[in-house]
Chains A and B, each alone.
Chain A
């Protein structure tokens, strides 16, 4: 059975093809203005990559901010369920899933049976999300990749407020004017985001094992800050941005099996 999970995120669309429990292809493209068209184009592109056609796909499950406009989706799920399912597939002992995407941060608590017990999502604030790191990288005039690496070279602890992206940006500029080294500011930015994410995690309760997923898990500086704040090992899978689409593909397969055996 081939199932497809499509995670139509705020910034990128991610796709995962699953064949009998094995990932056979993944793809990613910008969401753009038309998520419907972007999803369809990514689907066709990934089908061509693995030499399949639409008729080879048994079922599609969508998730993410644009989940309701994904063409052909039989199942539609929130990111909370999809991220939890994908993370538990990669590590069945995961009890806390932290997902940091372009515009949202989430903390999810799972129980031993693999059920979501509680979750929290960032409120009307971008401080615990990828959009925040992008704004800060712009203020520091470095690329996102450089921001993460710069952060690793600092051992300073510069307090910074990450309650509001606009105020944080003015704090960054003040630090630059005060001749604070760039690497220390980079670390302060990641520490501040980690602190926001920690607050959210504490709201739902933190139980090991902890897994960090979503595109921001690619930021090595943030991962380091989160590990320090968490005082626990934080696992990052190889392709953290595809965990949502993987979870969606897995749930699609689960549901097909349920339907077949019902």
Chain B
């Protein structure tokens, strides 16, 4: 049922190349989920999220500090090794300094006809955040207009907003099938769908997703649900890990990742001023911990997700050296445990040690399922 998404997930570069060939359009690499894809879609540009490929590499050492996260390292390696050679442009919205360094090195060492660093407010909780970002989005829009050689009309922006919002609504519907006592969608399948939505033409992705959604009600689920788990943390597109977790007596029912719910959770509101609407969407979306201050708004949001999807435990996934998530992990763990959600903390690297992680996951599941001895 989800084979198309699995193929899209696996053959991401083949898809982008054939899309280019078929449409003659331009493809931009996006370094962060805060990039306003609506503006790119309005300009008929295909946005593709730049992710790593979880393979060891030896090319990033001169570019990144040793204590920068493995994700930014893996991302930069893709550029330096020429795996995204089909890109016509790259852009990043400011979130963390590690990924920005990967972007800067890419910009300096991989030829590209369009590069754009989009300043994005780090203090999204201040009243100035929306007007500030609106102005920055205006600048970004102008740069994109210059690149394509024409102005974007309100109708173009409306199309961009509608295409993204339709995809987000379909994603919400998909996730609703994970709420039931016997989820009709596994965490692995949801990951194929969510992550592939970050590089597949959104209209094509939505159409395929709607086809699957129409069949989900009649889907017979033969696997045991086991323990219902939530994943929380840094960027995570590791299908080998989630497959392993779901093979040892668990189902991942929801997540808080920038490659998961944080990417699609809120829609762009309908407003007369489209640029202000976009600004509100990207300021008010579920926050990356890099931007979630002074108040930690993520915590109650994550707890609510866990409750809405009836999660019994949480696997906290942190990319090694990811400072924003590292700063959140200790209070987040305490907060979740105080609210009755046991947690397992795992530190991710470019490659994941599946054997040791399997033992930890199984022990965690035994711990959740254990009854009193005395």
Binding site for B on A (CB under 8 A): 65, 77-81, 85, 88, 92, 112-119, 121, 123-124
Q: Which of B347, B356, B367 contacts A119 (CB 8 A)?
A: B367
Given contacts A121-B356, A123-B347, A124-B353, contact A78 B363 (CB under 8 A): yes
Inside 8 A of A80's CB, which chain B residues have their CB? 363, 366-367
Across the two chains, which residue of chain B brings its CB closest to A116? Answer: B367
**Which one of B356, B362, B366, B374 contacts A116 once the chains associate, using CB atoms below 8 Å?**
B366
Contacting A at CB under 8 A, from B319-374, are 342, 347, 353, 356, 359-360, 362-363, 366-367, 370-374
- Cα distance A115–B371 when bound, in Å? 7
Q: List 7 A-B contacts (CB under 8 A).
A: A79-B359, A80-B367, A116-B366, A116-B367, A119-B367, A123-B347, A124-B353
The residues of B that contact A78 with a CB separation of less than 8 Å are 359, 362-363, 366
Which residue of chain A has its CB nearest to the CB of B374? A114
Residue in A79, A81, A92, A123 whose beta carbon sits within 8 Å of that of B370 in the complex: A81
Give the CA-CA distance A77 to B366 in the complex, in Å. 8
Interchain CB contact (< 8 A) of B372 among A77, A113, A119: A113
Q: Contacts of B371 on A, CB cut-off 8 Å?
A: 115
Contacts A121-B356, A124-B356 aside, 17 further interface pairs with beta carbons under 8 A come to A77-B366, A78-B363, A80-B363, A81-B366, A85-B373, A112-B374, A113-B372, A113-B374, A115-B370, A115-B373, A116-B367, A116-B370, A117-B367, A118-B367, A119-B363, A123-B347, A124-B353
List chain A residues, Cβ under 8 A from B366: 77-78, 80-81, 116
List residues of chain B with CB within 8 A of the CB of A81.
363, 366-367, 370
Contact status B367-A114, CB under 8 Å: no
Contact partners of B347 in chain A: CB under 8 A: 123
Closest to A254 in B: B373
Q: How many whole Å from A31's CB to the nearest CB in chain B?
A: 15
CA distance A117 to B370 in the complex (A): 10
Q: How far is the CA of A113 from the CA of B360 in the complex (A)?
A: 22
Complex: A123 Cα to B367 Cα, angstroms? 20
CA distance in complex: A81, B371 (Å): 11
- Determine whether the beta carbon of A121 is less than 8 Å from that of B359: yes
User: Is A88 a contact of B363 with CB atoms below 8 Å?
Assistant: no
Complex: chain A residue closest to B362, CB-CB:
A78
B107-124 interface code vs A (CB 8 A; 1 in, 0 out): 000000000000000000
- Bound complex: CA A157 to CA B125 (Å): 51
A190, B172: Cα distance in complex, Å: 54
In the complex, how many angstroms separate the beta carbon of A162 from the nearest chain B beta carbon? 19
